[in-house]
Structure 1
Amino acid sequence: MRGVMFQGTASDVGKSLIATAFCRLLVQKGFKPAPFKSQNVSNNSYVTADGKEIGRAQGLQAEACGLEALPVMNPILLKPSGSGQSEVVLMGERQDTISGMAYRDRYYESAIEWIGASLEQLSRIADTIIIEGAGSPVEMNLKQKEVVNMKVAELADVPVILVADIHRGGLFASVVGTLELLEAQERERVKGIIVNKFRGDPALFKEGVQWLEKRTGIPVLAVLPYIDHQLEGEDSLSLAERFSSYEKKDIDIAAIKLPYLSNYSDMEPFLAEKDTAVRWVERAEELGCPDAVVLPGTKSTFHDLRFLKTSGLAERIIQYVEQGGTIAGLCGGYQLLGRTLTDPHGYDSGTANSSAKGLGLIPGDTCFFDKKTTKRLAGRLAEQPEIYLNGYEIHIGQTKLEESSPFIRKEDGGEEGYYARNGRVIGTYMHHLFHNDAWRSEWLNRMRRKKGLPLRQVNRLEQKQKVFDQLAGHLERYLDWKQFLKILRMSERKTGQ
């Protein structure tokens, strides 16, 4: 198997972005790569064409490769749901909700088999596997049964490139410390180092490169300057970084930062809108009078409803809408906007026969069942059929509306979501909604008209392909390609390819 694995000295050092850049660069160089991550721990997920759920990062990397995303690209997805529990998604399908320790005990041997089988299947459709690790390979309390870093490199029998984030500080200690804590045979797999998120002139780090290479005996393949990209992040750490540089702009969108927030990537298209700012709100006094409020997805609607009520946000949001404000609820946010929640078997709340009153802004009632809905969703805006929408659904609860006032008329003739008060109140199960350029532009232009601002339309779909190419160009500019190719060929010699 020809491939390479990117591991990090810590979480959020940029492994996902670097893997994405390598995917596109290899395509440009005439290779046929495919992405792989054995196990994701994230509530930011992606639905494949066949209705299977995988980590969002691998869906994005598949796009960079020009491939349709497949469950074998991320065979294990763990979605934290509170109280130390995680939903276990295997080969794209929900299996269980258990604690981390129970997962390690119950699924370790099976995980090894799924990972091996997935790698084998990928090797039949791609000539190079770009493998992404998770966190750090030297989490000593987890190493015995880890299935995300060196164990995967061993199963795939590929070399490892270690990624370190210089922006957070402590680079030299993190690199040397990681290598020192690896077993000898593991350390032998590390064939290159990438220094990521450098701010300033990389030439200023020349002595740092020399020190690292002399101290470790491993070549530094690249010192990559920080790049402000427009691609979705993978986890909550990425959320903090992507939206940290808030500045006041003409259009003010308040996104409610729920404790069990999921698929926050639904908000990332707004980063491409130069006149629009997104601020994440956690307290009632922070809400103010925004142009719009977005209630995003949640991994636990019951728990986040409790948060809205105890924080005072529930009352403040209701007041905001009644005074003429605009709100959109996505997936769990849609459920929160309804009248009631019922959970006969405790699938969402954790307690059987739970019930609660929602915000009451939508005449709908949600009941939670064991069967999970994961599927692509497409149709046209009910009020403006010239606007086509596509996205996907990921939810357990089913919402029954008292009246028909659909947001979307689906391709199969059915109706989806809720649309009322001249579009000021919207609820939908569609994730990826604001990634639809025509809809996002229409929604924002309503606010622009109201404020007498110039109308805009940003083609983010075209921008995404340009960003993939820009990332590849950025990587190639600073990468020692010949040395990387030499490392990649090490896996060819091992397998005789």
Structure 2
Amino acid sequence: MTQHKNAKLKGIMMQGTSSDAGKSYVATALCRVLSNRGINVAPFKSQNMSNNSYVTLYGEEIGRAQGAQALAARVEPSVYMNPILLKPKNNALSEIVLFGHPLRDATSKALFRDFLRCEGAQAIDKAKEWLTHHYEAVVIEGAGSPVEINLNDREIVNMYVARAFDVPVILVADIDRGGVFAQIVGTLELLEPEDRKRVGGIIINKFRGDIDLFEDGKRWLETYTGIPVLGVLPYLDIPVENEDRLSLEFKTRPEADLVIGVLDLPFISNATDLEVFEVEPDVAIQKVRNRSDLWQCDALIIPGTKSTQEDLMRFMELGFDADLQAYAKEKPVFGICGGYQMMGEILVDPQGMDSDGIGEMKGFGLFKGVTTFVSDKRVTKCSAVTIKSGTPIEGFEIHLGRTEILEPAQPLLRIGDAPDGVDLGNVKGTYVHHIFHNDVYRNEWLNEIRMMKGLLSKEPEISANRYEDAFEDLARAFEKHVDMDAIMEMIR
């Protein structure tokens, strides 16, 4: 349904007592619940800081969480749902992606001084106008905590947005990390009086055990704060894509036949490349932080990264290259995007596009190839086929570098008429993210590892309905444990 241009956009906002309190999770659940109730709803987050991005139909980048929330709401993900995406390149520098396209790199100081309350605020106004024309309601997500006192006069993602959209706020608190009463009371005490009036409810998230045991705590919170506790959500093991690396954890599976290592890169990007392995009951994913971790794994994945050279340098300083070269002679190594770039011989950055000041450096040397970083960033969805088996592949590309193979080597994929990646048996690499979300190919690769271990091959596990099933499971849990009647009253 398209809204009349003068219609009032209804909405509600999720703010948290801390980072990783579950704002994205709760917002995703509410998007599906409202969609199930026939409401034309969209997600919104003004500013996302994450290297976990989603590529829209038009080859634009938004935060992965808003892409997932849009799918939960059964609407097409759009840059207007996340107009500002900050992609950290190191601890002090981020790439600004504005309405899906790279704008410039900026330091933290420059972001707050020059961007947020100027171009950033204008982007929020533009996004609000677009959402008002296209949707009946909006579920808004904040970031971190709304009471970062040193930032409150410059932030454009928490109460600034609640005021701009004129919506009520639900405060989400994580009880699993402890101190939930202090989290909630402290947050409310530090809010400005007018902002505190916007908080119409509290949701306790990640409760383990018997929820009835929290009844006394619920009553105390409501009496002390004067704000209703709308629900207590149990700790849910439902696979919904995470916003960022803070939530990237893998299940421990001692009984697993295969252990796949993932190089633990500080600036890992698009970690959703890896989460799909959760559908494989005989596979465990283990982070590899040092040389000794490596040899405990049956195969290694080197994932994407926002700072290829800086992350590579960390492991080169550990002497990782010699171990990895020996490892690749015995066991499979698979590189994705930045991980693929690291696997070559040389990385060249003449314009400082990847890491300022590093210039040229050696790679892991698993194949003869040179990656040159260029200013022309490639962001696109793509369809491909594997060279070896002709298996169809759907995925997306997000990268600056171009890799030239300097030896006769079979490409891994063909995208249209163009080759992509490398396939040297144990050593494989590609620029295509989500290659392992293709069930047949993921199974082909895992079967190669199973055969090397003397295990029987398996048929593919199906992941196609993984997120759709998760959205419905999440919505059912939300309806069961949260007072939706009260939330509907808040939204009206």
Question: Separation in 1 of the partners of 2:186 and 2:296?
Answer: 49
| Correspondence 1:399 to 2:403 | yes
Question: Separation in 2 of the partners of 1:208 and 1:67?
Answer: 38
Give the Å deviation of 1:394.
1.0
Per the alignment, residue 423 of structure 2 pairs with: 419
| CA offsets 1:12-54 (integer angstroms, 9 cap, x no match) | 0111011111111111111111111000111111111111111
Q: 1:307 is aligned with what amino acid?
A: R
Give the Å deviation of 1:231.
2.1
Q: 1:374 is aligned with what amino acid?
A: V
Give the Å deviation of 1:439.
1.3
| CA offsets 1:363-422 (integer angstroms, 9 cap, x no match) | 22110111211111211111111x211111111111112345221122x3222111122x
| CA offsets 1:464-484 (integer angstroms, 9 cap, x no match) | 211110000010011111111
Question: Separation in 2 of the partners of 1:439 and 1:214?
Answer: 56
Question: Separation in 1 of the partners of 2:459 and 2:258?
Answer: 12
Matched ranges for 1:218-233 at <5 A: 218-233=227-242
CA contact (8 A) 1:85 1:100 kept: yes
Instruction: Please list every run of 5 or more consecutive structure 2 residues that lacks an aligned counterpart in the other structure.
Output: 1-8
Per the alignment, residue 342 of structure 1 pairs with: 348
Give the Å deviation of 1:336.
0.4
| Correspondence 1:148 to 2:153 | no
Which of 221, 234, 237 is the matching residue for 2:243?
234
Per the alignment, residue 28 of structure 1 pairs with: 36
Per the alignment, residue 449 of structure 1 pairs with: 451
Which of 51, 55, 80 is the matching residue for 1:43?
51
Q: Given the superposition, is the C-alpha separation of residues 99 and 21 from structure 1 closer, same or farther in structure 2, using an over 3 Å criterion? A: same
- SS of residue in 2 equivalent to 1:384: coil
Per the alignment, residue 128 of structure 2 pairs with: 119
Question: Separation in 1 of the partners of 2:251 and 2:470?
Answer: 21
Matched ranges for 1:244-323 at <5 A: 245=252, 247=254, 249-322=256-329
- SS of residue in 1 equivalent to 2:376: strand
Q: 1:438 is aligned with what amino acid?
A: V
Question: Separation in 1 of the partners of 2:212 and 2:13?
Answer: 27
Per the alignment, residue 439 of structure 1 pairs with: 441
Q: 2:66 is aligned with what amino acid?
A: Q
Question: Separation in 2 of the partners of 1:29 and 1:313?
Answer: 53
Matched ranges for 1:204-223 at <5 A: 204-223=213-232
Which of 448, 452, 464 is the matching residue for 2:467?
464
Aligned residues: 481
- SS of residue in 1 equivalent to 2:102: strand
| CA offsets 1:155-185 (integer angstroms, 9 cap, x no match) | 1111100000011111111101101100111
CA contact (8 A) 2:321 2:365 kept: no
Per the alignment, residue 413 of structure 2 pairs with: 408
Q: 2:151 is aligned with what amino acid?
A: L
- SS of residue in 1 equivalent to 2:72: helix
Question: How well do the aligned residues superpose, as a CA RMSD in angstroms?
Answer: 1.4
- SS of residue in 1 equivalent to 2:120: helix
Question: Separation in 1 of the partners of 2:435 and 2:325?
Answer: 23
Per the alignment, residue 200 of structure 2 pairs with: 191
Range with greater deviation from structure 2 (437-446 or 462-471): 437-446
| Correspondence 1:389 to 2:396 | no
Range with greater deviation from structure 2 (412-421 or 390-399): 412-421
Per the alignment, residue 382 of structure 2 pairs with: 377
Q: 1:397 is aligned with what amino acid?
A: G
CA contact (8 A) 1:301 1:348 kept: yes
| Correspondence 1:55 to 2:63 | yes
Matched ranges for 1:131-142 at <5 A: 131-142=140-151
CA contact (8 A) 1:7 1:160 kept: yes
Per the alignment, residue 351 of structure 1 pairs with: 357
Question: Separation in 2 of the partners of 1:36 and 1:438?
Answer: 34
Which aligned runs of 4 or more in structure 1 are off by greater than 3 angstroms? 244-248
Give the Å deviation of 1:246.
5.5
Q: 2:370 is aligned with what amino acid?
A: D
Question: Separation in 1 of the partners of 2:400 and 2:295?
Answer: 32
| Correspondence 1:326 to 2:335 | no
- SS of residue in 2 equivalent to 1:469: helix
Question: Separation in 2 of the partners of 1:160 and 1:213?
Answer: 16
Question: Separation in 2 of the partners of 1:312 and 1:488?
Answer: 56
Question: Separation in 2 of the partners of 1:221 and 1:286?
Answer: 44
Q: 1:305 is aligned with what amino acid?
A: L
CA contact (8 A) 1:283 1:312 kept: no
- SS of residue in 2 equivalent to 1:155: helix
Per the alignment, residue 65 of structure 1 pairs with: 73
Question: Separation in 1 of the partners of 2:166 and 2:323?
Answer: 55
Instruction: Please list every run of 5 or more consecutive structure 1 residues that lacks an aligned counterpart in the other structure.
Output: 490-497
Per the alignment, residue 479 of structure 2 pairs with: 476
| Correspondence 1:128 to 2:137 | yes
Q: TM-score, normalised by structure 1?
A: 0.94
CA contact (8 A) 2:251 2:285 kept: no
